[in-house]
Chains A and B, each alone.
Chain A
Amino acid sequence: MSDIASSSFVRQDLLTERPAPVKTTGFVGLMRTRLFNSPTNILLTIVGALLLWFTIVPSVRFLLVDAVWSGKDRTACLTENAGFAVGACWPYIQAKLPQLIYGFYPEAERWRVNLTFVLAVVLLVPLLVPRLPAKGLNASLFFVAFPIVAFFLLHGGGIKGFGLSWTAGLLELFDESISGAGQALLSLSKTSAAGPLLWLVGSLIVLVGTAIHWLILPLIWLRDQIQGAGQSLWADFAVTAAVVCLIAFGLGGGLRTGWRALASSIAAFVAIAAVIKLMGLDRGGLPVVTTNLWGGLLVTLVVSVTGIVTSLPIGIALALGRRSTIPLIRIFSIAFIEFWRGVPLITVLFFATYMLPLFLPGNFTVDGLVRALIGIALFTGAYQAENVRGGLAAIPRGQGEAAAALGLSWWKTTSLIVLPQALRHVIPNLVNSFISLFKDTSLVSIVALFDLLGSLRASFSDPKWSTPSTAFTGFAFAGIIYFIFCFGMSRYSLFVEHRLNAHRRN
């Protein structure tokens, strides 16, 4: 014991306190470690601070400090009247706000636009919050029901027929076209060198046309009967509902398991009937507001939401087509995707505006807005196809093989096993595409549609408000709106990505 005591050293007095370690957290720590830790870094900090100083200070001065907040016309925003160097001219925005949001939509009808915006928000928000239930119902409401309701709200007008008369009309047109093509070939065969071959093909097509004609004859007879009677819309509705419900019942498994499908289709038709009754579609609906009166943020949102809703099915179909093993379908999908991805959107809009009307039958006019929408849907669809294809490629082969081993058909494998997983994988990419789509909607102003940017540009030419700061004020306002939408979407995409990668975090 004493041995140990003699050979070992035992400190008798306390050590002097060492200085606390340098703080590396908090503001001071940040300054020490990442701003002022070396001469170069100090220099860089000064450069950064100067950059910020020379951008943020003038912006804040322009937007808030030097701004004019009230006034009736341009005189309020002139330097000689205000007495100081005028920044933003906010009364100009106040005066032009209705035009920037609604365009020339009649003032008495603007509640319809507001109602549509409210409906969109009410349906969209629960769809975006992952914890809320009933995503399937919510998605079908937003992606299928909402666009139709929004159309009748914004555009107005009613419907004369329902499923039965539409189907009959379409089939009739198709039949006419087929027979016409056959007749054209037959008349060509009399002069052409390859006459017999053309004659054979032509008469085959005419035969098909005649067969279709006889097949759809009962349908057309039924339609004529219904339209002859009073209350044609409701009779048509009842027949369509009965037929569709029966088909759903049959496909759902008949007496054994079809009851669920039957119940949901009946519920859907009851809802449709309620909407028709509520909006008075059977009595002509709301007053029609033609699309050339639409403008501002309304057009921006209509174009982007329609683009989002229509591009996704196109994209999924093209992506599946591109992965298909059937040669013709794969080649067609590749060519289609690469074509639309290879050309600028503005040429697509020119195509839709000038070329598309030439391709349609002469008696068939398409609204300018709808033409632009078709172009945007095709263009965005091609980009979405590549996104979806990335998701499909990320699904392990084993998933499809396991489904095949269970005896599922290709359609069931795709729709129940592969696609749901693939789409979940690519939600962030899809949202990023939606951001670029939202930004690209500004291009419709080039083909004479007045979206937010187009309305803004139009408002610059108003002599009542022409001051040196008008343009800057307008761009500041529109820029804030665009930024809020795009930045919000990009944050949402990051949030979803974070959630999807939860299992990879450590």
Chain B
Amino acid sequence: MSTEARKPPPQIALKIRRLLGGKAGWNGVAVQFAFAAILGWIGYEIVSNARANLENQHIAAGFGFLRNNAGFDVNQTLISYTGSDTFLRVFVVGLLNTLVVSVVGIVFATLIGFIVALCRLSPNWLLSRVGEIYVEIIRNLPLLFQILFWYLAVLAALPNPRQSISLLGLAFISNRGLVVPSPIGERGLEPFLAMLALGIVASLALRFYARRALFQEGRMIRIWPYVLGLLFGLPLATMLVFGPPFSFELPQLKGFNFAGGSRIIPEFVALTLALSTYTAAFIAEIVRAGILSVHKGQMEAGSSLGLSRGTTLRLIVVPQAMRVIVPPLTNQYLNLTKNSSLAVAIGYPDLVSVFAGTSLSQTGQAIEIIAMTMGIYLLISLLTSAIMSVYGWRVSRSLGA
């Protein structure tokens, strides 16, 4: 007499129920129907109201306005732009300005942030207090306050161009912004750039080869002299052969303003200063927390293996700290990018300022313009979080968890 296990009852109904309604079962399905009905109703209300309101205000819905002429000027453009270009080009110009201020801000914020974090971690009591005061003051004041402070108080107090502060006769700071020498390409530019690119590619390849040799055969290859040679030697050699790659055009004071050189507008200076010092305070706290999160025993274990302090830091402490630091750090970079939209308060021509500000008031196409602006920021942050989740996946894989 055999006692065979009974077949489990068919689970199809259960599975469907689970799929449709989650743990709540048929109740969940009902809740979903009610929820969908409410959402549908709200959506219907929004669409019908928007349609009626637009009709009343005689605004044509749609993205056709993007092909119209903008008819206003933008005081900082990375690509060529005149008032007779289209609104689509205004969008691109604004987006590029946003990206430029974000990238520059991120570089400075990271630099200042790491310096402040090192100050706070320093065994020197006074220096760590200085770092702490910096972080507390900066973090507890609104960013817009700081932007306006730099723009309306500090930069406005600078002298006019005729009495501008000269930095070695090369750059001039005045209330019209920062004037720096502008590079002009010469005959040697193309070979120089080509050799620079070649050097970078070759050094990357070398590093890849060296790591392979280290991990697979256990051979240590010292590559840094070759990398230095590739990165600096090759371009220098082309400079000797073809002459200097570019020369600098020095700014000259003519009348009431500067001629020559390139001008960095004061709005950009104020925005970059405020964004980088503000974000630096947060980055400093993140870096400090990351380094403190590595257990003291790791350092001790490193030195008991006979590694030097620098090597222990480089090979043991920093990689573990980076795992803690990188996700919130990217978050701060994203915050900085989003915060760059405060440019609208001081008139720096970023995406929000020229597109959601000037273009919106000229065309009245509120729905399309704000949707496009929000969409582009959303795209940036979703892309970043996608990259971060890939990073998190790789970290958890490398931990073998």
Contacts and interface: CB of A to CB of B under 8 A. Distances in A.
B124 A44 contact: yes
Interface stretch (B21-29, B161-169, B180-188): B21-29
B316 interface: no
B123 A41 contact: yes
Given A329-B32, A453-B148, A347 B44 contact: no
Given A44-B124, A362-B56, A442 B31 contact: no
A326 B32 contact: yes
A178 B382 CA distance: 36
Interface in B46-79: 46, 48-50, 52-54, 56
Contacts of A487: 136, 140
Contact of B143 (A41, A44, A439, A478): A439
Contacts of B377: 342-344, 347
B370 A347 contact: yes
B149 interface: yes
Contacts of B46: 359
Interface residues of B, number: 64
A341 B381 contact: yes
A374 to B, nearest CB: 14
Interface in A328-350: 328-330, 332, 338-339, 341-347, 350
Interface stretch (A46-54, A218-226, A271-279): A46-54
By CB atoms of chain A within 10 A, which of B140, B148, B345 has the most? B140
A327 B124 contact: no
Interface in B126-162: 126-127, 129-130, 136-137, 139-145, 148-149, 152-153, 156-157
B193 interface: no
Contacts of A482: 140-142, 145
Interface string B6-25: 00000000000001111110
A211 to B, nearest CB: 14
Contact of A49 (B126, B152, B156, B374): B126
Interface in A133-187: 177-178, 180-181, 184
A385 to B, nearest CB: 16
By CB atoms of chain B within 10 A, which of A324, A347, A410, A460 has the most? A347
A475 B50 contact: no
Given A44-B124, A325-B22, A351-B370, A443 B144 contact: yes
A457 interface: yes
Interface in A177-227: 177-178, 180-181, 184
Interface string A87-99: 0000000000000
A468 interface: yes
Contacts of B156: 471
B159 to A, nearest CB: 12
Contact of B126 (A35, A324, A483): A35
A326 B31 contact: yes
A350 B381 CA distance: 19
A361 B141 contact: no
B127 A325 contact: no
B145 A442 contact: yes
Given A48-B130, A358-B53, A490 B140 contact: yes
A35 B125 contact: yes
Nearest to A56: B133
A347 B139 CA distance: 23
Contact of B124 (A35, A177, A440): A35
Contacts, number: 175
- SS class of chain A's interface: helix, strand, loop or mixed? helix
Contact of A329 (B31, B157, B360): B31
Contact of B352 (A48, A342, A344, A441): A344
Contact residues on A (Cβ < 8 Å of other chain), bracket: 35 or more
A439 B339 CA distance: 12
B84 interface: no
Nearest to A479: B141
A30 B49 contact: no
A358 B366 contact: yes
Contacts of B130: 48, 51-52
Interface in B106-130: 122-127, 129-130
Interface string A468-484: 10011001001100110
Contacts of B45: 177, 359
B152 A347 contact: no
A327 B157 CA distance: 58
Contacts of A329: 31-32, 35
A89 B36 CA distance: 60
Contacts of B145: 442, 453, 475, 478-479, 482
A291 interface: no
A181 B49 contact: no
B299 to A, nearest CB: 19
A267 to B, nearest CB: 34
Contact of B141 (A49, A441, A486): A486
B304 to A, nearest CB: 24
Interface string B344-368: 1100000010001000100000110
A34 B360 CA distance: 58
Contacts of A479: 141, 145, 149
Contacts of B54: 358
Contacts of A178: 41
A375 B247 CA distance: 51
B39 interface: yes
A327 B32 contact: yes
Nearest to A339: B378
Contact of A44 (B56, B122, B339, B345): B122
A390 interface: no
Contacts of A361: 49, 52
Contacts of B127: 44-45, 47-48
A368 interface: no
Contact of A445 (B144, B152, B366, B370): B144
A154 B156 CA distance: 37
B271 interface: no
A326 B28 contact: yes
By CB atoms of chain A within 10 A, which of B50, B53, B124 has the most? B124
A89 B130 CA distance: 28
A147 to B, nearest CB: 23
Contacts of A445: 144, 345
B378 A342 contact: yes
B142 A440 contact: yes
Interface string A354-368: 110111111000000
A350 B2 CA distance: 75
Nearest to A351: B370
B341 interface: yes
B125 A34 contact: yes
Nearest to A460: B152
Given A34-B125, A338-B382, A342-B381, A483 B56 contact: no
A446 interface: yes
A34 B367 contact: no
Contacts of A460: 152
B89 interface: no
Contacts of A354: 360, 366, 370
B207 interface: no
Contact of B20 (A327, A453, A468): A327
A357 B126 contact: no
B43 to A, nearest CB: 10
A351 B374 contact: yes
Interface in B309-367: 338-339, 341-342, 344-345, 352, 356, 360, 366-367
What are the 9 tightest A-B residue pairs by CB atom distance, in nearest-first order? A325-B22, A48-B126, A486-B140, A34-B125, A344-B338, A439-B142, A342-B381, A354-B366, A471-B153
8 contacts: A325-B24, A327-B32, A342-B381, A445-B144, A445-B345, A446-B344, A479-B141, A483-B137
Given A177-B45, A330-B22, 15 more contacts: A48-B126, A326-B22, A326-B31, A327-B21, A328-B35, A328-B36, A361-B52, A439-B141, A442-B142, A446-B342, A471-B153, A475-B152, A482-B140, A482-B141, A487-B136
